[in-house]
Copies of this chain bind each other. A is one copy, B any other.
Amino acid sequence: MVQRVVPDVVVRRLTQYYYALRHCQERGVEVVSSQRLGEMLNVTAAQIRKDLSFFGGFGKQGIGYHVGSLLEHVQRILGLQQEWPVALVGLGNLGRALLQYPGFAQEGFQIVALFDTDPRKVGTTAGQLVIRDNNEIAQVLPAAGVRIAILALPPDEAQEVADRLIQAGVRALLNYAPITLKVPAGVWVRQMDPLLALQSMTYYLVRVTG
């Protein structure tokens, strides 16, 4: 097959494969089958083979996939061989918790700029970084080469801030505000809303039979 337009679902699953493969590597597993990988992730073996075939034939018939080499390929495909500088907007409870979270840096997402509108916060520091006013976004981000931002702010400010960020060169938004952002083509958004997630599960809870 090899690289026609890859559906977004496939890209998302690829990130899961990435984790599973690292899990294997940490445990010293050198070879893994699509079968085994599927069991780890609740995905069918055929699905995994088809997904990977979008990018090339990484496996060996009769054997399976070499963990180390597949991992490298997947890492490159996802663009994870490099560090990504990230901006964080909004330093309320959530923003501060995200800033504390070591996972971002561990995975190569370095938070390098903080923004807020609250004059009581602007100028203070949080985790080594000075919090700047939102209106400095345009000056700071392009120079820092930031193309990813995390939005942890109230819904009524989110769209305006998103516009500014995009103006400043940001192309990927991790949005914690419970609002559907309008963005031009070429900008990607992932919605992180725990309430939507809960509310879509209660649907099933009220329908449980037995």
Q: Are A202 and B93 in contact (CB-based, < 8 A)?
A: no
**Which chain B residues lie closer than 8 Å to A202 at the CB level?**
78-80, 84, 148, 172
A11-46 residues with Cβ-Cβ distance < 8 A to B are 11-12, 14-16, 18-20, 40-42
Given A97-B97, A171-B208: A19 and B178 interface contact (C-beta under 8 Å): yes
Q: Is A1 an interface residue (CB 8 A)?
A: no
A170-210 residues with Cβ-Cβ distance < 8 A to B are 171-172, 174, 178, 180, 182, 186, 188, 190, 192, 194-206, 208
Query: Which one of B19, B188, B203 contacts A11 once the chains associate, using CB atoms below 8 Å?
Result: B203
Q: Are B190 and A200 in contact (CB-based, < 8 A)?
A: yes
Q: Are A190 and B199 in contact (CB-based, < 8 A)?
A: no
A76-104 residues with Cβ-Cβ distance < 8 A to B are 77-80, 84, 86, 93-94, 96-98, 100-101, 103-104
A98-133 residues with Cβ-Cβ distance < 8 A to B are 98, 100-101, 103-104, 107, 109
**Which chain B residues lie closer than 8 Å to A150 at the CB level?**
194
**Which chain B residues lie closer than 8 Å to A194 at the CB level?**
98, 101, 103-104, 150, 174, 192
Q: Can you name 16 extra interface pairs (CB under 8 A) apart from A18-B199, A84-B198, A107-B198?
A: A15-B199, A16-B180, A40-B180, A78-B203, A80-B199, A103-B194, A109-B195, A109-B198, A147-B205, A148-B205, A150-B194, A171-B204, A171-B208, A172-B201, A188-B204, A188-B205
